Amino acid sequence: MKHKAKKLNCNAFVEFYILEMIDYHLHYDESLVNEAQQFLPSTQYLGKRLTEYKDKFETAFALRLRDYLWFAAVGEARHSQKVCRVVLEGMEDVQSWSRGHVYREFVEDYPPTPENVKKIYHLYYSNSWDGSYGGDSWAKIVEAIQFYETLSHSAFIDHCADLQHNGGVAFDKNVEFWSTTGYNNINSFLNFKFHTKSVVFDLPRYMHDYDIKEKLSTDVIYLMNKLFAVTKQSPWYDPSMRMEASRFHWNLNLDDQYSSRGWDFGYEIEIVTCSHCGDYISDGDTVVRDGYGYTYCTYCCTECDDCGEWMPPDEADEYENSDGDYICESCSNNYKECDNCSNLVKYDVDLCEDCVHDCTVCDKESDSLTVVYDLDQFHNVQAKTTPLGDTREEMCLTCVKKHLDAGFRFYEWDGRIHMSTQWDYLMSHPWGELLNIHLSTELSYEDLLPHDEGGY
């Protein structure tokens, strides 16, 4: 699917603080996610997805903020000759230009090197400017540009959020890679953030659901929904309500204006989304396609345990071998059905593990076991410490034959087969009444064969 990825704007500050709060709730807020929950697959999955997107978002946002502040600061410098009678070397011609002209024809060749930043800083700090232009407020903006190199991306973004120039919020200048959308709301959001405990769970107090879809990316809405699922809490009146995803992603291209001159910051890009979860598949990530052309992320797919290929969600559980491993259609050709059930086994194996058990008497594997209750064991331990269920034996046919030859006689009642060498004693003893023994026809070896062998 092709559409324009949105230019970053002041609404990205809202997304930044939401990401920070999701990270806090997930990793440090034990009232929502306790220590035991940290090991749940759903929690670890959310942590992985959060880290991946948060790092990518903050890296791109911080770089874009630095570029924006530099463009805006140099654009403001075109007033220096008119206001404070000072002109920096090389900037003589720009004094009569519009801000946009300065951006296009000058700033692109005037990068924020330490030397250039120092010149622009002192232009604002060391000269007398009229209150409507330049001065200390713009000096602070230029100072913030230097912090890009010394602070973490998250600390740099947080520092930039409340920057102001003489006329208000610093982010109201039109630059080709920055949209002024949301600049008149940034102060109200920062005030909301200051007075609330959680910008995630209290978000409905600040914006309606339709605003959320318009102002926040699909990526952060997805992460919020995952947090609500992990914590089993939701900011909505109906806990089952899930935010609908927006249909945009931020343009998080990591090129800056000086490493890629002429780059179109609003260009058409192909955004590949997962047809199962709707999430964006990042460049370089594996894209799984089914036979119908639908695309899926690896988080929604299952890896074949034989060959390692990814299987789309609808195909993941189509083939499962007897070990519980999922295999793709191609690898299923290496399997056949178990002779005793429908489980898949390798061609050199006749029975799956579910159909092969150990005889509890001889400990040998057998595919035909007869369940018998040994009343001699029950009697010998006086029934006081051994429940009848503990005398249960699963006997192979060889052991059944040996017991018959050793004098054991087999009877059935109440749906169970019982064996003993002391039936007469048991019938005359209180045990007989305790066990509700009522003998009918004695069972022969043929009677004791499993159903599929024509016996009991």
What pLDDT digit, counting tens, does each position of 285-303 carry? Answer: 677 887 777 888 888 888 8
11-27 vs 153-160: helix crossing angle, rounded to 10: 130
Q: Do residues 361 and 322 both lie within one domain?
A: no
pLDDT of 216 higher than 60: yes
pLDDT of the residue at 155: 95
Shared domain check, 295 and 408: no
Residue 438 pLDDT greater than 80, yes or no: no
Q: Name the residue with tokens 């429940």.
A: 387
Q: Which of 324, 354, 384 is the last residue of a domain?
A: 354
- The model carries a pTM of 0.57
Q: Does residue 212 share a domain with residue 84?
A: yes
What sign has the CA pseudo-torsion 69, 71, 75, 80?
positive
Domain shared by 180 and 296, yes or no: no
For residue 397, what is the enclosing H or E element? helix 397-405
CA distances to 80, 123, 265 from 68, rounded to whole Å, are: 20, 18, 12
Range of the domain at 327: 276-354
Inform me whether the pLDDT recorded for 122 exceeds 80: yes
Backbone angles phi, psi at 198, to 5 degrees: -145, 120
Structurally, the chain folds into a number of domains equal to: 3
Is a pLDDT exceeding 60 seen at residue 92? Answer: yes
Average pLDDT along the chain: 80
Ranking 109-118, 238-247, 274-283, 371-380 by mean pLDDT, the lowest is: 238-247
Examine the domain organization and report whether 401 and 346 are in the same domain. no
Same domain, 387 and 296: no
Residue 309 is which amino acid? E
Predicted pLDDT of residue 268: 32
pLDDT surpassing 50 at residue 240: no
Say if 256 falls within a structural domain: no
Q: How would residue 270 be classed by pLDDT, with cut points 50, 70 and 90?
A: very low
Residues 173 and 36 in one domain: yes
Q: Are residues 350 and 406 located together in one domain of the fold? A: no
H-helix segments, 198-356:
209-215, 218-231
**252 domain residue, yes or no:** no
Both 364 and 347 in one domain: the answer is no
10 and 68 fall within a common domain = yes
Look at residue 101 and tell me whether its pLDDT is greater than 90: no
Residues 111 and 162 in one domain: yes
The percent helix, strand, coil of the chain (3-state, each to 5) is 45, 15, 45
* The last residue of a domain, from among 301, 334, 354: 354
